Chains A and B, each alone.
Chain A
Amino acid sequence: MSEDQKRQLESQLWGIANLLRGKISADDYRDYILGFIFYKYLSEKQHLYANQLLEGEEETEYTKVKDEETLKAIREESIIKLGYYLQPAELFSALVARGQDKSNEDNYILEDLQAILNHIEQSTMGEESEEEFTGLFEDLDLSSTKIGRTVGARNDVIVEILNFLNGIDFKLGEVESDVLGDVYEYMIARFAAGAGKKAGEFYTPQQVSKILAKIVTTDKSKLKSAYDPTCGSGSLLLRVAKEAEVSEFYGQELNRTTYNLARMNMILHDVHYRRFDIQQEDTLEHPQHLDKRFEAVVANPPFSAHWKGNKNPLNDSDERFSQYGRLAPNTKADYAFLTHMLHHLSDNGIMASVFPHGVLFRGAAEGVIREYIIKEKNWLDAVIGLPANIFYGTSIPTCILVLKKCRKADDNIVFIDASGNEHFKKEGNQNALREEDVELIVETYRKREGLDKYSYIAKLEEVAENDYNLNIPRYVDTFEEEEPVDIKAVAENLKTIDDKLQETNQTIAQYCKELGIETPF
């Protein structure tokens, strides 16, 4: 499938949003649209797989199979292979047909739809895939007044969405598995761009994800595991999989809606349910993978979130936080996330995460933790300053910190200042990194190269001299030297100007005399 077709699919799907705009607010219809796309995907996948199983049978079209035995066999196979099961009558197309049937007075499909979504989850009950599918559709509240006041109105909206989706061919059988996943990603990003900021959570722009993914896969083509402690919709983890072969994905996310999205996103990207483990919980309070270490750790944790910190007595002895001497302040969890990530980082792993600039220079407890990481552990590998205004919904300047437990170049730290005007392009009121900007950041990091006005390889002693303040301008000099002024030439210019002034003054005086007015100069 070409890029063109992908773009076409993107604009087709985004068309639904236009369909609903004005009727329902964007935040509300997002969950429905993303949920239904997922349902259609599961349904097409089931249909394809069932037909595959039916090859050589008497009846080769799944929707026409009536024989109970055959259906049972398909069900069993599907649960193992796909992790879930949909009956022929539960397929997306079958449901849409019922919704379109105007001859039937009872074209209400809400109840059917609810039943189907429940069935999908129930079909996994007691199976290995159960955890990956439970509660997946819980945000699709078909009785919510947000999508319509009366049952009839809600039904109309749902039928409209389903009809629209039905007209779009996902071409699952023909294309690479990632295409629909990418389009899904695109939808998530588009919705994120439109959404207001909520508690410092921001969708990581693709280009930033790409930098993180490329950095953690430096010198690696295969990774045992990738972990994101604040995984949101899971896009960062999936991005890592584009740069290297990842065997297992681990993630944790507090927000239920995005947690559901993350699981759908994984499945849509054809990541088998056995290969991912995503949990819904507060990462700092209730870590879900405490005993595990990962080869790649990536994150875009909420910027300066509040956390319990010293108000939770357990934190003092928590191995994730205790060794650093101080706990991150209650109002700025940035270092709590950072050390949590370090806890999960395997000795041969690389961690890269986005943070607000404050982590580079804020003092007090954060200064103590920073100093410990650099001075005692020597884990900090690189500091990369990003342009301001590249996240949707916030103009906050951000940076990427790269950390490793066993560093090869262990006597220095790479500083990159990618915030200069020539290192991004303006897109409306946002700034965006171009392909070449991403490339330059990654290459400079990988080669540990000092480039004029762009990067600097700082010796550890130099960082110590700066009291472990990592503020980028202290290391990367991006200031244009002022041209030395040629004072001799300027002095001559001044003399010439004075001569000319005298001439002009004389001319003026002559005219003034003729006019009979006072000569002013």
Chain B
Amino acid sequence: MSEKLVIPELRFVEFEGDWQYKQLDSFTEKIQDGTHFSPELIPNGTRKYITSKNIRNGILDLSELDYISQEAHEKIYSRCNVKYSDVLLTKDGAGTGNLCINYLKEEFSLLSSVAFIRANDKVSTNFFIYQLLLSPEGQKEILRSIAGQAITRITLTKLRNFNFCIPKLPEQQKIASFLTSIDERIRLLRDKKAQLQQYKKGIMQQLFSQELRFKPDHPASEGKKENNYPDWEEKRLGEILKVGSGKDYKHLNEGEIPVLGTGGVMIYVNDFLYEGESVCIGRKGTIDHPMFISGKFWTVDTLFYTHSFNQVIPYFVYLLFQMINWKKHNEASGVPSLSKATIEKLTVLIPCQAEQQKIASFLSAIDDAISHVTDQITQTEHFKKGLLQKMFV
């Protein structure tokens, strides 16, 4: 019988020797789920009460939180004492298999739909177990153990019996810290994207309130005192553009031209309603989400498009539309609606075309930066996926 080494495809060179098959409960100190007796939720309670809705893949999401009393917490915590850096795993319900690391240093209570896993620190680390469970091998074990159709679940027994091939502690630590640094990069990029979006919002607020103004590139010509763009002019939207109605597209055949709805591209067809740069705005439903489009396109009847721009740059209109509080002009309180007349009657302040151009270019550069970061996030996630495939067996 030929000896075949059990080692991953990609391995740090300083480590040698086979990885060993082990059951999860043999290298962990504790695998436990939360309370099976739902405590009373207290809006101003002292202790956080974490349930599966807080566990998203890779993120402990605290945007919606429940609280319970200290007394109830103590009862729960005596059995289920989650600690900092433990791995949290959703074991019941819609998000079964979702995983994250607990970054909360305080004590909190857990509901039975979530389990925590704590490594035996003599032979393993939480961060390695976390990455292991994210790897294809970990995911296979999770998928295999999920029972139930309508309501999926993983039992603690099955979880404890997960079987993995793992290296010795130092190698685990190195793998974990490498993969963690990639997670860190993804987290930073997401942060960056959010901050850029904030930045864009702030810039738009200041540009449109004219707190910030661009100056013309060329110095003031003789006779003019100051080198400034002219004052913004008040105009009705109807004076600077025309609103076009969408149409039914169902009679069209498949093609390359996008059909836009209030939520974005719906389908591609072989004919177009309009060609050129345009800003679309919802007629019914989502009425406060303007979209910029150029080229040939079609819009459904719940989406208006704009055309025949008069002394305005379409991209500037797109920015302007983002600054309008559309819901205020809503003409129904069931499904929000706008009418052509309402849109064309709105008054807005418009700078001269040169200033519009500056504003448009600046903001489209920020938009580019945002989409660049979005790409980077996708790429890094991809890279991480590749590593997870190659660094485990």
* Chain A interfacial positions (CB closer than 8 Å to B): 357-358, 361, 385, 388, 395-397, 419, 471, 473-474, 477, 479, 482, 484-487, 490-491, 493-494, 497-498, 500-501, 504-505, 507-508, 511, 514-517, 520-521
A504 touching B330 by the CB < 8 A rule?
no
Mask, B221-251, CB within 8 Å of A = 1, is 0000000000000000000000000000000
Contact residues in B for A477 (Cβ distance below 8 Å): 328
Least Cβ–Cβ distance between A85 and chain B, in angstroms: 52
B333 touching A388 by the CB < 8 A rule?
yes
The one of B185, B199, B203, B331 that contacts A521, using a Cβ cutoff of 8 Å: B185
A485 touching B201 by the CB < 8 A rule?
yes
Least Cβ–Cβ distance between B152 and chain A, in angstroms: 27
Contact residues in A for B184 (Cβ distance below 8 Å): 504
B327 touching A473 by the CB < 8 A rule?
yes
The one of B185, B327, B379 that contacts A504, using a Cβ cutoff of 8 Å: B185
| Chain B stretch 275-293: residues in CB contact (< 8 A) with chain A | none
Q: How far is the CA of A491 from the CA of B195 in the complex (A)?
A: 8
9 A-B pairs with least C-beta separation:
A485-B202, A487-B202, A397-B333, A511-B178, A507-B181, A490-B199, A504-B185, A497-B192, A473-B328
Contact residues in A for B328 (Cβ distance below 8 Å): 473-474, 477, 479
The one of A357, A471, A474, A484 that contacts B205, using a Cβ cutoff of 8 Å: A484
In the complex formed, the residue of B with least CB distance to A494 is B195
B188 touching A494 by the CB < 8 A rule?
no
Interface residue B120 (Cβ < 8 Å from any Cβ of A): no
Interface residue B10 (Cβ < 8 Å from any Cβ of A): yes
Mask, B153-192, CB within 8 Å of A = 1, is 0000000000000000000000000100110110011011
Contact residues in A for B185 (Cβ distance below 8 Å): 501, 504-505, 508, 521
Interface residue B53 (Cβ < 8 Å from any Cβ of A): no
Contact residues in A for B379 (Cβ distance below 8 Å): 520
B206 touching A501 by the CB < 8 A rule?
no
Least Cβ–Cβ distance between B346 and chain A, in angstroms: 12
Interface residue B329 (Cβ < 8 Å from any Cβ of A): yes
Least Cβ–Cβ distance between A475 and chain B, in angstroms: 10
Least Cβ–Cβ distance between A241 and chain B, in angstroms: 32
B199 touching A494 by the CB < 8 A rule?
yes
B333 touching A501 by the CB < 8 A rule?
no
Task: Given A485-B198, A515-B12, answer yes or no on A497-B188 (Cβ-Cβ < 8 Å).
Answer: yes
The one of B11, B195, B329 that contacts A497, using a Cβ cutoff of 8 Å: B195
Q: How far is the CA of A514 from the CA of B13 in the complex (A)?
A: 7
Contact residues in A for B330 (Cβ distance below 8 Å): 471, 473
Q: How far is the CA of A396 from the CA of B334 in the complex (A)?
A: 7
Q: How far is the CA of A485 from the CA of B209 in the complex (A)?
A: 13
Contact residues in B for A397 (Cβ distance below 8 Å): 332-334
Q: How far is the CA of A493 from the CA of B181 in the complex (A)?
A: 20
A508 touching B334 by the CB < 8 A rule?
no
B188 touching A500 by the CB < 8 A rule?
yes
Q: How far is the CA of A504 from the CA of B180 in the complex (A)?
A: 10
A504 touching B192 by the CB < 8 A rule?
no
Highest count of chain B CB atoms <10 Å: which of A361, A473, A490: A490
Q: How far is the CA of A491 from the CA of B10 in the complex (A)?
A: 39
A357 touching B332 by the CB < 8 A rule?
yes
Interface residue B383 (Cβ < 8 Å from any Cβ of A): yes
- 24 example contacts (A-B, Cβ-Cβ < 8 A) are as follows A357-B332, A358-B332, A397-B334, A471-B331, A477-B328, A479-B325, A479-B327, A485-B205, A487-B206, A490-B195, A490-B199, A490-B202, A500-B188, A501-B188, A504-B181, A507-B181, A508-B182, A511-B181, A514-B13, A515-B12, A516-B13, A517-B10, A520-B379, A520-B383
